[in-house]
Amino acid sequence: MPNITEHENLRPFNTFGIEVFCDYFTELNAISEFSELTKNEIYLNNNRLIIGGGSNILFTKDFNGLVIKNNLKGKEILAEDDQEVVVKIGAGESWHGFVMWCIDKGFCGVENLSLIPGCVGASPMQNIGAYGIEIKEVFEELDAYDMKEGNKRVFKKEECHFGYRESVFKREYKDQFLIASVSFRLKKKAQLNVSYGAISDELKAAGIKDPGIKDVSEAVIRIRKSKLPDPAETGNAGSFFKNPEVPAEKFTALKKDFSQLVAYALPNGNYKLAAGWLIEQCGLKGHEHNGAAVHTRQALVLVNKNNCTGKDVYELSGYVLQKVFDKFGVTLEREVNII
């Protein structure tokens, strides 16, 4: 039976560095411990919250119930041939650590997702993505356990209903499953995607004409470090808002009024707007509220600048939402999970 502690401070377990407490806390290091835990009275009689790296959570208050930290580890090659490899990774493994492992082995497909904080188990929950790549492109399946009965269930890609920073685990199955492991289908021959964002410019600046996956990964890491704050130094959860999608008519109207509008055409005819650009145009870079602030280099990121509370961050996000709507008539959506 895993050890259960009371009145645990969750500051070390969320990258915003917010000090809140939970009634009960435990860590899972083996799936057998979860089976035992489901029979425990504390588990059965309390609200439950599963966390991994705590990189996509904003705690606005204490959590009344049991917090379960998923520490399930392991890396395994399930199948491979000359072209592809399928790997199974424990949900508690560091995402960036997994990416580095793939690069060391020459497994291609996740190099654009370097330096994303958090754990592997969270990657399918929100279909993480960066620089033109989303996890659904390499996802094979995942093993999960029902939070009520403890029964195992395998989810294939089509069952996850992946969308932009969305999956079935953020909607109809929210808080209903413990993700134990995730399997990915990766390439052995690189099919690089360097056209999105500043990757190609970064590679040119480094004098790299024929890049490999390691070169792309290192370019992404340099770009992210230049724009994004390190959670170990300044509390944050990365991108706080989703890039909004608007119809072509709305895009055309906005483009007429704002000629420098940053947007990307989508296959469905709509346009995805750069939320960071919208926020910046509202003059909000560096804007502060009770110790919470909009990051000075990347307006998409909210930071814990001076020992703020989760409520302070949430109130700041609401202010940002209102300002963007007032100026552009566009409604932003929070990407971070609000607790």
Cα 176 from Cα 144, distance rounded (Å): 10
Give me the phi and psi of 128, to 5 degrees please.
-55, 150
165 is catalytic: yes
* Whether residue 239 lies in the annotated active site: yes
Task: Give the active site residue among 111, 134, 218, 335.
Answer: 335
Q: Where are the beta strands (DSSP E) in 95-151?
A: 129-130, 133-134, 139-146
What tokens were used for 22? 């939970």
- Within 13 Å of residue 112, how many CA atoms lie on the same side as its CB? 22
Active-site entry in 114, 123, 141, 165: 165
Whole-angstrom distance, CA of residue 234 vs CA of residue 220: 20
Question: Which residue, chain included where needed, has tokens 């009634």?
Answer: 23
Query: Virtual CA dihedral for 80, 84, 85, 86, nearest 10 degrees?
Result: -110
Catalytic residue, from 55, 94, 239, 317: name it: 239
Active site residue 167: no
Closest CA to 109 of 118, 119, 99, 122: 99
Q: Count of CB atoms within 10 A of residue 262's CB?
A: 15
Task: Determine the Cα–Cα distance for residues 230 and 17; give it in Å rounded to an integer.
Answer: 12
Residue positions annotated with a catalytic role? 165, 239, 335
